[in-house]
Amino acid sequence: MESSIMQGASILATGSAVPDLCVSNQTLSQIVDTSDDWIVTRTGIKERRLVAKDQSLVDLAALASTRALNKASISPLEIDLIILATSSPSDLFGSASKLQATISANNAIAFDLTAACSGFVLGIVTATQFIQNGSYKNILVVGADVLSRWTDWSDRSTCILFGDGAGAAILQACPRHENGILGFQLNTDGNKSDQLSIAYQEHFAKTSLHEILNIKQGFFQQITMNGKEVYKFAVSKVPASISKCLQSLNISSEQVNWLLLHQANERILNAVADRLSIPSSKLISNLEKYGNTSAASIPLALDEAIKEDKIKFNDLIVISGFGAGLTWGTVIIKWKC
């Protein structure tokens, strides 16, 4: 890839934010027929954070972004582009522009990217193209979701999984030989889109106006998921994507320092690591504290791993997202901070 790029791209800093409200498995067992033991054994999740009534997706995204900007010591005015990966915007037209205004990144253009739990990976890959082709210098990529607003709290098979959060990364242009975003591998299988969705439902109450115009209107439903199918998809497709990406870069799995997967289920994380012969000690995981935070899960875990001083200069990090769409993909990063 390096030969065709005009300039390199690397992650300059990260930030994250989670709501204060912490809900334990014990609390959920008072709402649906479940137990702490079942949830921990089947998923690895112990608790999750949920947004309060007066908090919004943009509040969380702005906090994560401001923390990343502060860490990078750059002004919001230096940001050229904001990509907000989310499937739970506050506005169906998108929330990125509201985020731009909230953090006063007045020179940035901003757009939403909808790709569920793969959103952050797609956001990083998209941002990298704009930097490597010379269009932009500083890009803020945010993964944020508040799926608690779309969760069916009477469905024990899904409500125990999800939590809310936001994570941000600032990508910056650098000389070609210092490029840190080494390669990627992306996939979509729309034939399986109904396995995990927040579907649109037509509303059948017809008014004379709808009859005259010959149109329908409706609303979005709550999350539905075929857990077993999504599980099988993840443990087969994600290792294949990672292997393909590693191969394309001539990197062996032994050379990988960190494996950072979308935080969906501890069993999925371990199964993927096993299939790649990567020891579980190289897995980055914070699932037990936050559950599945969708587009936020990868940047949230990345930010925590950096704060814990796990990731060192020149470490190779394999990052994979997977989920609704179905979408899945890998980006391989050489850490340059």
Binding mask 270-309 vs ligand UT7 (x if CB under 6 A, - otherwise)?
----------------------x-----------------
Tally Cβ neighbours within 10 Å of residue 305: 19
Decide: is 150 part of the binding site for ligand UT7 (CB under 6 A).
no
Stretch that binds ligand UT7, among 1-9, 264-272, 278-286, 303-311 (CB under 6 A): 264-272
Is residue 106 part of the annotated active site? The answer reads no
**DSSP three-state, residue 135:** coil
When the beta carbons of 78 and 194 are compared against ligand UT7, the nearer one is 194
Decide: is 239 part of the binding site for ligand UT7 (CB under 6 A).
no
Query: Min. distance of Cβ 171 from ligand UT7 in angstroms?
Result: 24
**DSSP three-state, residue 156:** helix
Active-site position among 117, 159, 265, 286: 117
Beta bridge partners of 260: 319
User: Can you list the positions of beta strands (E) in 108-220?
Assistant: 109-113, 138-145, 165-174, 181-188, 196-197, 200-203, 217-220
Decide: is 228 part of the binding site for ligand UT7 (CB under 6 A).
yes
Residue from 107, 126, 157, 187 binding ligand UT7 (CB under 6 A): 157
Nearest partner of 32 among 149, 156, 158, judged by Cα = 156
Is residue 159 part of the annotated active site? The answer reads no
Instruction: Give φ, ψ of 205 to 5 degrees.
Output: -70, 100
Distance CA 311, CA 226 (A): 35
When the beta carbons of 17 and 160 are compared against ligand UT7, the nearer one is 160
Residue nearest to ligand UT7 (CB): 227
Residues between 36 and 65 with contacts to ligand UT7, criterion CB under 6 A = 38, 42-43
| Secondary structure of 47-99 as H, E, C letters | EEEECCCCCCHHHHHHHHHHHHHHHHCCCHHHCCEEEEECCCCCCCCCCHHHH
When the beta carbons of 71 and 237 are compared against ligand UT7, the nearer one is 237
Active-site position among 138, 159, 262, 265: 262
Total binding residues for ligand UT7 by CB under 6 A? 19
N residues, the chain: 337
Query: Min. distance of Cβ 33 from ligand UT7 in angstroms?
Result: 7
Is residue 292 part of the annotated active site? The answer reads yes
Distance CA 81, CA 78 (A): 9
Structure tokens at 9: 């791209």
Instruction: Point out the residues that are catalytic.
Output: 117, 262, 292
- Chain residues binding ligand UT7 by CB under 6 A are 34, 38, 42-43, 117, 156-157, 160, 196, 227-228, 230-231, 234, 264-265, 268, 292, 323
